[in-house]
Amino acid sequence: MLYYYLKSLHLIFVITWFAGLFYIVRLFVYQIEASQKPSPDKEILGTQLKLMAKRLWYIITWPSMILATGFAIWMLAMRTFYLTDGWMQVKLVFVVLLIVYHIKCHLIFKDLQNDKVNYSSNFMRIFNEGATIILFAVVFLVILKNAFNWIYGTVGIILFSILIMLGYKLYKRIREGKK
């Protein structure tokens, strides 16, 4: 019974972790765009966005990542046989990619907190899709497990990534046309 409580808590914190990752990059977009505005808008927006990002990052996103990972390790310790399953090994690769993505977000967060802008808002909009692609891959992998056809799955993720990029390009054209 404990395993199912752990699994529930793991899922809750995975959801809040992804919510934090999706929103923090959105805040990065706003921070970058605010840095290009004239005074006093630049300072007023910059201060408020930094505060919002700091609260989101340290109160929701980091704790969610730590708790989701902790509950996952606890579950794997209870059922080590999952580590021999191919689907779990692939899932763990995606989890490592998600942690790398999280760390990259942290580096960007620290730079923006220090008013150091290294990326464009357009780059951040595309970067935001990294977590989406990982989310889709992990959900399909976990739900389909051993029935998952690796070739179709790989092609599917590539096609999904292409669709996201095409959708972004369309959105960018529409947004630029309204200016």
64 and 24 Cβ atoms separated by less than 8 Å: no
Compute φ and ψ for 38, nearest 5 degrees. -75, 160
| 42 known ligand binder | no
| 91 carries a ligand binding annotation | yes
From the list 60, 134, 128, 152, the residue with the least C-alpha distance to 92 is 134
Helices (H) and strands (E) in the chain, counts: 7, 0
Dist. CA 147–CA 63, nearest whole Å: 33
Q: How far apart, in whole angstroms, are the C-alpha atoms of residue 116 and residue 6?
A: 40
User: What SS3 state is found at 40?
Assistant: coil
Known binding residues = 10, 91
Known binding residues for heme = 10, 91
